[in-house]
Amino acid sequence: MTPSIRQEPALQPLNEYNQVLMAHVHPPDWVNPKPAAVYDLVVLGAGTAGLVVAAGAAGLKVGLKIALIEKSLLGGDCLNIGCVPSKCVIRSSRVVGEMQNAASFGIHSLEHIDIDFAAVMQRMRQIRAGIGDHDSVDRFSKLGIDVFLGRATFVDGNTIAVNDSQLRFKKAVIATGARATRPEIPGLAEAGYLTNETIFSLTECPKRLAVIGGGPIGCEMAQTFHRLGSNVTILHKNEQLLDREDADAAAIVQQQFLQEKLHLLLDCSLEKVEKTEAGKVIHYRQNGAVKTVVVDEILVGTGRTPNVDGLNLETVGVKYDAHQGVVVNDYLQTTNPRIYAAGDICMSWKFTHAADAAARIVIRNALFCPFGLGRSKLSSLVMPWVTYTDPEIAHVGLYESEAQAQGWETGTIMIPFSDVDRALADGEPEGFVKVLHKRGSDKILGATIVARHAGEMISEITLAIVTKQGFNAISKVIHPYPTQAEAIKKAADKYLQRALLNPRTQFLLKLLKRFS
């Protein structure tokens, strides 16, 4: 063993749960192993993509020598500052939402809801620490993987340096992920701001919170912190929140925000930020006039920047863009055929499940496709995603504009939840299931669901697209009554009903009836 020279990351606050998590994902007493003579695979980055590549390759038990390098925390954004902490805090905020709406169910709660924000965050940290074992240094070491903590950089076409060690490799995978993008707003850095990387370190709820950006991250956190006690203002450059989603779906979420009295400043541009005794003053332009809003904290949710800095990619002939990340082909191969990439570093789908799916492609293509035979393609994936507002928006496949751009003639089936008995019983009539299909066929091209648990429902449609099953197959599936997922069967039945309502089919049905 050789000593490891590295900069220690830290989660704040350093309470008992964060110390447990740190012991899992970046143990302070860890000593990097002595490098092997040569590695079959070296993985740079231990977020979802890197962990799945390393564990998946090691789990095949074919004698591969694998190294995994992480400069910060194993588990990456998802475990430490992304999916896990955000969904824990969102869950607490949903309890508040239920209590605020209790009277509509005949339950009269206290007028004042006592929210213990510190306890909300403590619960999150406890759950995160418990999950941390799944991504721990100890677990991956026991899989036979050499885990190196430190900053990696390419030295030449077959060598990577990490701290004081040099790792020779046959193949390498870049999975260094992305970080929160800082908008170039004068005075923002000086005033101070939060991102998803720092907001889960809070122990007190900001009284006044500005959220810059009305995309998925901004909207999820804006609603969450508003319910937990912040007076939230969203500043968004476009006319509608979530403007990359289905317009009807985004409109429902935006209306919900207005009902909950979030302050929406849309179609505005930010001029500058000042720090004053009254708070952080955001100057913005809207309708030709410059206005201001004063807050205590600012959360930036304006996108992700790929982590390409310091990798020395030029040395090994890996092409990249500072904004788009590492350039890969459809097989996730970089411009250096011995080096692959996966996850946020190279993909527009910046989701944990997308990184997982891409990692599986990399394992196959990098290690088990001699001469390029039998390689898997990234473009073959059918990718669902969910925005975890309340209600949620879940989508899979093509939007109508995308389908038409590809030359499809399309039709749409939409079932509002106001027509679904369970949604009415649950007091959740807002939202819909909208399915895009090939005109004149039951072939499903895409779907959007807006519902409190839309993310739990979208997989049925994803499965149908992947297995090339259409409305006919879904209609044959018995859905328990009453469930909100029955809306999907209703969509299939509606298509079949439309298909039957034509003169030829009705003539055949009348003929069959006559001889039955």
Average pLDDT, stretch 155-174?
97
- Same domain? For 200 and 286 the reply is yes
pLDDT at 2: 38
What is the pLDDT confidence band of residue 8, given thresholds at 50, 70 and 90? low
- The 10 Å CB-count burial string (b at 16+, else e) for 103-136 is eeeeeeeeeeeebebeebbbbbbbbbbebbeebb
- Same domain? For 149 and 113 the reply is no
- Same domain? For 52 and 201 the reply is no
CA nearest neighbour of 368 among 171, 175, 141: 171
Domain of residue 295: give its range. Answer: 188-302
Q: Is pLDDT above 90 for 7? A: no
Question: What total of structural domains would you count in the chain?
Answer: 4
Domain boundary among 340, 355, 378: 378
pLDDT at 510: 75
Q: How far apart are CA 331 and CA 365, in angstroms?
A: 7
Q: How far apart are CA 290 and CA 303, in angstroms?
A: 25
Q: In what side-by-side order are the strands of the sheet with 231-235?
A: 263-265, 231-235, 208-212, 297-300
**% of residues, the chain, pLDDT over 90:** 91
In a domain, 508, yes or no: no
Alpha-helix runs per DSSP H in 206-300: 216-227, 247-259
In a domain, 385, yes or no: no
Residues in the chain: 516
Count of beta carbons in the 10 Å neighbourhood of residue 404 = 13
For the chain, the average pLDDT equals 95
Assess contact for 224 and 89: CB atoms under 8 A: yes
- Same domain? For 111 and 252 the reply is no
- Same domain? For 291 and 374 the reply is no
Assess contact for 358 and 342: CB atoms under 8 A: yes
- Same domain? For 116 and 197 the reply is no
Sign of CA pseudo-dihedral 366, 372, 373, 377? positive
Q: Is pLDDT above 60 for 6? A: no
What is the SS3 assignment for 83-131? HHHHHHHHHHHHHHHHHHCHHHHCCCCCCCCCCCHHHHHHHHHHHHHHH
**% of residues, the chain, pLDDT over 70:** 98
Copy the structure tokens of residue 408: 């499809």
* Choice between 387 and 108, residue whose per-residue pLDDT is larger: 387
pLDDT at 484: 98
Copy the structure tokens of residue 101: 């709406």
Residues 296-315 have pLDDT tens digits of: 999 999 889 999 999 999 99
In a domain, 163, yes or no: yes
In a domain, 2, yes or no: no
Count of beta carbons in the 10 Å neighbourhood of residue 490 = 18
Q: How far apart are CA 141 and CA 148, in angstroms?
A: 10
Residues 242-272 have pLDDT tens digits of: 999 999 999 999 999 999 999 999 999 999 9
Copy the structure tokens of residue 420: 């679904």
- Same domain? For 400 and 481 the reply is yes
pLDDT at 111: 76
Q: Is pLDDT above 60 for 3? A: no
In a domain, 3, yes or no: no
Residues 453-508 have pLDDT tens digits of: 999 999 999 999 999 999 999 999 999 999 999 999 999 999 999 887 777 777 77
- Same domain? For 151 and 195 the reply is no
